[in-house]
Amino acid sequence: MRKIKTFVWVDADDCNPPHGLDMESPRDADKVAMLQAAFEKDGFDPSYPALVGYPLEGKIQLLSGTHRHMAGKLAGVKLPVTLFLRSDVEETWGTDWWDNTIADIPVSQLEAMLIEEGKAKRSPYDPVNLSDSEES
């Protein structure tokens, strides 16, 4: 099975979160506030995992990162997203491939993969193809 994925930086407004947050809950509100402060100070920390999603109706449907999405939106920073084809996401749901699809991979590791593969980006906002050709 060939899995296509791309690593991109996008505006939070171009993404739909995987679920809602209860900003009345101290758990959600505190986590978003902590992330927002960090993003406003230093941008998106490359030691944090990239969000994961797929294109859907002109936006990116996120599979992970609800708190990071909200914090990025409030802070006005671009978010790193590992982007899969919707068909691959649907095909892997409930299978052994699912953990690989939804894996939290730190941005620094994704960027290092690009350099190792000779695909260094011109800017952090250029989309880069991270295709693999594993067959199953």
Predicted pLDDT of residue 136: 39
Predicted pLDDT of residue 127: 53
Predicted pLDDT of residue 134: 44
Give CA separation, 38 vs 32, 48, 67, 132, in Å: 10, 11, 13, 33
**Domains of the chain and CATH, by start:** 5-129 (3.90.1530.10)
> 14-49: per-residue pLDDT in tens?
999 988 899 899 999 999 999 999 999 999 888 888
Full-model pTM: 0.76
Q: What is the average pLDDT across 50-71?
A: 92
How far is residue 53's CA from residue 55's CA, in Å, rounded to a whole number?
Answer: 7
Predicted pLDDT of residue 133: 42
